[in-house]
Each structure stands twice: as structure tokens, then as C-alpha cells.
Structure 1
């Protein structure tokens, strides 16, 4: 049987990493970071939104910011080798 993460990749999911900054409940001036990583669908990110909804509903540390990295958002330049010459006058 295939791994569930592999099956998600076949369905179009990609590895998503979110850096979540939140304020400490007892010390609101202090920011703490949390790294969340899961296979999710870009650009809507339904699993990440579900996690953030859970965070807002169940946890005391209010969110400050969320930074998302995903292979469809950030990708190295792709070069295609072309055989031929094009001359413009």
C-alpha cells in the first residue's frame, strides 16, 4: 500500500511550510515562532487555514503573522534548451 503523503502528491498536493509568529499570552510584547509543515493545495491552502482556525479557536497566543513557502509559490528559474537560430533585422 502506498504512503498517504505520496498519494497526496499524486493528487496535486505539495509540501507547504508555514512560519507562524504569535504573541505570548503572558507577555504580549514577546513574539514566539512555530513551524507548521504539511502537504497542502496551493494557492488556497485548506489544511493550513483549518489549522489556523483551530489555533484562533483553541489556543491563547494571538497570531501576529504567517509566512508561507510552497513549491508552486517559490520555484527556481526553469531553462529550456532550444536548438536553432533566430535572426532579426
Structure 2
């Protein structure tokens, strides 16, 4: 399993989390609260967490190519929702994020 993490500085973390989850919930069995969410894509999973001043995205997939797909899907949609204040999204491997 491959993992990556993106920590995005924003005061709208919960709003973006809920927008992403509601958007994908039309086609996927998404679970979410204002603080946490899980989006199970066919290529992998994204877990979201809204904390004070940041949105944390955690992507998981079977291999590196699928992981890039999960990252890309989430990133494209988040940028679309946050068009007024585009976030800087930098994905790091889970190992890099832990250190």
C-alpha cells in the first residue's frame, strides 16, 4: 500500500472537507462529519481531517500510479471549490510527513 499526505493551511478546512465529501457522495459511499471524512474511490481512498487552520488529506492506494490518481482527483476538485483563494497543495509520502 502506498500513502501520501498533504497539509493545507486554510481557515476554511471544515467547509472544504464537507464540500468535497458532499460532491463525491452523489456517486460514492462517502462518510463524513465537519471534522473528518473518508472518500473511497475505485483507485484508492482519501481521508480528510479539518483541524484549526489546516485541512489534512491522506491518500492511500495499492501502487504509486493509483496513488497519483487519487491525489489528482482530490486536488483538482479542491482547487475548483477553493477558486477564490487557491490552496497550495503539496503531497508528501507518509514517511516524509511523519518526520
Question: Could you tell me the TM-score, scaled by structure 2's length?
Answer: 0.39
Kindly name which structure, 1 or 2, has the bigger radius of gyration based on alpha carbons. 1
Bigger fraction of residues in helix: 2
Question: Could you tell me the TM-score, scaled by structure 1's length?
Answer: 0.42
